[in-house]
Amino acid sequence: MRVLVTGGAGFIGSNLAMALVGESHDVTILDNFSAGNFSNLVKFKGDVICSDCTVQPPGPFDIIFHQASITDTTVTDQNRMMANNVEGFRHVLAWAAAWKARVVWASSAAIYGNSAPPMVESAAPHPLNVYGYSKMVMECVARLWHRQTGLPCIGLRYFNVYGPGEGHKGRFASMIYQLAQQMKAGHRPRIFRDGSQKRDFVWIDDVIQANLKAAEISGGEVFNVGSGISESFNSVIGALNVVMHTNYEPEYIDNPYHFFQKHTEADLAKSIALLSYAPRSGLLEGVREYYGSCAL
């Protein structure tokens, strides 16, 4: 198939593009390189277009994987967030309608806010910041577009994704990456007190699996993409100590954010039943593979 990956220079987008090339698809990446990084694409064998989602690339494409987005959850500029995420998505959907292309796109567990875990797709959204709100609006836009066109449009609510290719994100990379860098530098890992807050950490290969499976189904659904297991920040440090053969104790600091999610955990019943999604890596397995890849 001829495939377009928006945001293909980013963490998830670049991993997805490489996987698609590995399956012998004709892959084009669209990215304005405002957040992505060229280093993720050094081994990519395909076309790269430097542009945002307001300029239609030369089509047609059979499928669009829309990964482009402002993912910095600390951005408070509402106009910038909504213009980039929501209006950019409208452009992508207009291209898809013209090409009769199916769409798989990145939503987020930020939609859930501090809803009670495990978080199920049918729960009412409670975003804590404009990033989560933008994803909520995008889901509404996607549902309407699917009803109007009848074309497949599958949204994936990513939980806390980690893996190779995220290093360029710096302080916005996963906690697993950030804590590992602190420990490698000989410092005690710093986490918000008291380290009992929990996240559903999901290995990048499982996220790619979900995208590829989503490309095979019809409809206009959204699906959780996580590990289905929540782990505390203290547990992350424990796993890193095991894999890195260290013995660091955490350094606890105050949390400066009022919109902080205390506990995320994906309910995977729908994803397992309708996507045949099957996460393969728990926290320790994922951290071990990450460290073994020399990217952590």
Strands 102-108 and 63-66: parallel
209-220 average pLDDT score: 97
Q: What is the pLDDT, as a whole number, of residue 205?
A: 97
Give yes or no for a contact between 293 and 165, defined as CB atoms under 8 angstroms apart. no
Answer whether residue 257 shows pLDDT above 80. Answer: no
Q: Does domain 2-160+202-225 match CATH 3.40.50.720?
A: yes
Q: What is the pLDDT, as a whole number, of residue 136?
A: 98
DSSP-derived 3-state class of residue 80? helix
Q: What is the pLDDT, as a whole number, of residue 47?
A: 97
Percent of the chain with pLDDT over 90: 92
Q: Rounded to an integer, what distance in angstroms lies between the CA atom of residue 58 and that of residue 75?
A: 32
Give yes or no for a contact between 231 and 275, defined as CB atoms under 8 angstroms apart. no
Longest CA pairwise span in the chain (Å): 56
Please write the tens of the pLDDT for every residue from 107-119. Answer: 999 999 999 999 9
Class of domain 162-200+229-260+281-292: alpha beta
Q: Rounded to an integer, what distance in angstroms lies between the CA atom of residue 10 and that of residue 126?
A: 27
Using pLDDT thresholds of 50, 70 and 90, give the confidence band for residue 260: confident
Mean pLDDT of the chain: 96
Using pLDDT thresholds of 50, 70 and 90, give the confidence band for residue 278: very high
Answer whether residue 202 shows pLDDT above 90. Answer: yes
DSSP-derived 3-state class of residue 46? coil
Give yes or no for a contact between 21 and 29, defined as CB atoms under 8 angstroms apart. no
Of residues 133, 135, 169, 177, which has the active-site annotation? 169
Q: What is the pLDDT, as a whole number, of residue 256?
A: 80
Answer whether residue 251 shows pLDDT above 80. Answer: yes
Count of all residues that appear for the chain in the document: 296
Residue 117 DSSP one-character state? S
Q: Where are the alpha helices (DSSP H) in the chain?
A: 11-22, 78-82, 88-99, 130-149, 175-184, 204-214, 233-244, 269-270, 283-292
Nearest CA-CA partner of 7 in 66, 93, 86: 66
Token representation of residue 194: 């008291």
Domain boundaries, the chain: 2-160+202-225, 162-200+229-260+281-292
Going 117 to 78 to 134 to 137, the CA torsion angle's sign is positive
Using pLDDT thresholds of 50, 70 and 90, give the confidence band for residue 93: very high
Q: Rounded to an integer, what distance in angstroms lies between the CA atom of residue 49 and that of residue 36?
A: 13
Give yes or no for a contact between 8 and 41, defined as CB atoms under 8 angstroms apart. yes
Q: What is the pLDDT, as a whole number, of residue 72?
A: 84
Of residues 112, 131, 162, 290, which has the active-site annotation? 131
46-64 average pLDDT score: 96
150-172 average pLDDT score: 96
Q: What is the pTM of this model?
A: 0.96
Residue 169 falls in the annotated catalytic set: yes
Q: Rounded to an integer, what distance in angstroms lies between the CA atom of residue 219 and that of residue 148?
A: 12
Answer whether residue 9 shows pLDDT above 80. Answer: yes
Please write the tens of the pLDDT for every residue from 57-78. Answer: 999 999 999 999 998 888 889 9
The set of residues, in sequence order, having a beta carbon less than 8 Å from that of 130 and lying 6+ positions away, is 75, 76, 78, 81, 82
163-173 average pLDDT score: 93
Percent of the chain with pLDDT over 70: 100
Token representation of residue 168: 């360029």
Answer whether residue 166 shows pLDDT above 90. Answer: yes
Residue 252 falls in the annotated catalytic set: no
Using pLDDT thresholds of 50, 70 and 90, give the confidence band for residue 200: very high
Answer whether residue 122 shows pLDDT above 90. Answer: yes
